[in-house]
């Protein structure tokens, strides 16, 4: 049962990164891609119908962590408290700037809101990467299951490298989204940025292999010792290859889907390499939290799986409807514009 909930938690985090990742990427590139106020408005309107709903998956992932592995939830939220408060403020700034952008009809106001939205989006992508880097690297858990990381220990060299990688990956995801959603000169700039960011992603991914092995060699051992887990890095590589092939064919919707598959492969690789750890300790330290010593009771997990199944089914139906409506609207707008 604990393994099932580990899979559920990994799934919720992955869905969040894929869905909210493209609008974080669009936000991070907003000031670079858009040449004027009309183009910035077009980019924000492209993500407007779904960006707020995408963030629900972050809350849902936190709820699943609290429900299934409450010990890890308590340790992570206390030890990474500064980082979580920073995420909260960035989410608030991003949301307010997006919602208030059109409340005052003045170019200076809209520029200020766009600047806050862009910087907060980029910072969120970076901070999420830093958090993932600290989890992979491990945290200094004590015998009581708690730890505390000061700011400059959170911003260690490995976490900063993963943070940069996360920012580039999500910026590429946003550029891939803009490549098929935008039109005219904006679309052309998005496609150029998609190409540059793709190769930056590849270079950083290769550069991260040796540092990751140095801070957590067991991650690679777990993949090699269980060969079926190699399907996850193969998915990431396959997605990257598909991006190159589909880009050459100018199939921009396919490029976006392949970008999503690459992200799924990357996150699944990390989850498979860390399993059964939820919050691993530093290499060489004796204390760490796994699915066994951090999980809730068997009765709670067994009962919750029924309600989780109902909730996730409703969420899938809603998001399917929302995204189909968004893409139909975009297609209709493009058709009326062409005519």
> Could you tell me if residue 35 is inside a domain?
yes
> Could you tell me if residue 164 is inside a domain?
yes
Asked whether residue 339 carries a pLDDT value surpassing 70, the answer given is no
> Could you tell me if residue 336 is inside a domain?
no
Highest mean pLDDT out of 49-58, 148-157, 239-248? 239-248
> Could you tell me if residue 37 is inside a domain?
yes
The single-letter DSSP state of residue 50 is T
Highest mean pLDDT out of 96-110, 251-265, 283-297? 251-265
Asked whether residue 43 carries a pLDDT value surpassing 50, the answer given is yes
Q: Provide the 3-class DSSP secondary structure of residue 166.
A: helix
pLDDT at 141: 86
pLDDT at 335: 53
> Could you tell me if residue 337 is inside a domain?
no
279 sits in which H/E element = strand 277-279
Asked whether 271 and 10 are in contact (CB, 8 A), the reply is yes
pTM over 0.85: yes
Distance (Å, whole) CA 1 – CA 210:
34
118 sits in which H/E element = helix 107-137
Residue that wins the pLDDT comparison between 122 and 50: 122
Asked whether 301 and 1 are in contact (CB, 8 A), the reply is yes
pLDDT at 319: 86
Work out the average pLDDT over 145-161.
85
> Could you tell me if residue 51 is inside a domain?
yes
List, for residues 124-146, the tens digit of each pLDDT value.
999 999 999 999 999 888 888 78
Determine if the peptide bond prior to 276 is cis (ω within 30°). Answer: yes
Asked whether residue 333 carries a pLDDT value surpassing 80, the answer given is no
List, for residues 50-92, the tens digit of each pLDDT value.
888 888 899 999 999 999 999 999 998 888 888 888 999 999 9
> Across the chain, what does the average pLDDT equal?
91
List, for residues 170-187, the tens digit of each pLDDT value.
999 999 999 999 989 999
Residue that wins the pLDDT comparison between 145 and 329: 145
Asked whether residue 331 carries a pLDDT value surpassing 60, the answer given is no
Work out the average pLDDT over 272-297.
88
> Could you tell me if residue 81 is inside a domain?
yes
Instruction: Dig out the tokens for 37 from the structure.
Output: 């106020």
Find the range with the poorest average confidence among 73-77, 196-200, 301-305, 333-337.
333-337
> Could you tell me if residue 338 is inside a domain?
no
pLDDT at 210: 96
Q: How many C-beta atoms lie closer than 10 Å to residue 158's C-beta?
A: 18
Tally of structural domains, the chain: 1
Phi/psi zone of residue 250: left (φ > 0), alpha (ψ -120 to 50 degrees), beta?
A: left
Q: Tell me the CATH number at 250.
A: 1.20.1630.10
The fraction of the chain above a pLDDT of 90, given in percent, is: 71
- By residue range, what is the domain housing residue 164? 2-331
pLDDT at 140: 87
Work out the average pLDDT over 25-44.
93
């Amino acid at each position: 049962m604990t393994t099932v909930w580990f899979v559920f938690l990994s799934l919720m985090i992955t869905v969040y990164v894929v869905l909210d990742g493209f609008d974080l990427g669009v936000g991070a590139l907003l000031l670079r891609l858009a040449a004027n106020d009309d183009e910035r408005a077009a980019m924000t309107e492209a993500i407007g119908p779904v960006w707020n709903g995408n963030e629900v998956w972050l809350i849902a992932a936190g709820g699943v962590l609290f429900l299934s592995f409450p010990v890890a939830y308590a340790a992570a939220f206390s030890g990474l408290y500064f980082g979580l408060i920073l995420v909260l403020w960035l989410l608030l700034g991003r949301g307010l700037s997006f919602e208030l952008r059109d409340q005052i009809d003045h170019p200076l106001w809209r520029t200020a809101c766009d600047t806050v939205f862009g910087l907060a989006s980029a910072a969120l992508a970076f901070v999420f990467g830093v958090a993932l880097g600290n989890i992979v690297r491990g945290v200094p858990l004590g015998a009581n299951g708690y730890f505390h990381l000061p700011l400059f220990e959170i911003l260690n060299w490995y976490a900063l490298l993963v943070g940069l990688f996360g920012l580039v990956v999500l910026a590429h995801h946003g550029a891939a989204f803009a490549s098929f959603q935008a039109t005219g000169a904006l679309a052309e700039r998005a496609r150029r940025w998609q190409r540059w960011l793709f190769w930056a992603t590849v270079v950083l991914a290769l550069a991260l292999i040796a540092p990751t092995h140095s801070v957590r060699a067991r991650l690679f051992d777990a993949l090699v010792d269980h060969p079926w887990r190699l399907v996850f890095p193969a998915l990431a590589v396959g997605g990257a290859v598909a991006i190159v092939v589909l880009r050459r064919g100018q199939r921009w919707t396919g490029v976006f889907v392949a970008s999503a598959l690459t992200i799924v492969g990357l996150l699944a690789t990390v989850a498979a390499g860390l399993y059964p750890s939820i919050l691993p300790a530093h290499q060489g330290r004796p204390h760490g939290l796994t699915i066994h010593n951090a999980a809730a009771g068997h009765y709670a997990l067994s009962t919750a799986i029924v309600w989780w199944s109902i909730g996730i089914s409703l969420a899938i139906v809603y998001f399917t409807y929302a995204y189909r409506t968004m893409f139909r609207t975009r297609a209709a707008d493009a058709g009326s514009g062409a005519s």
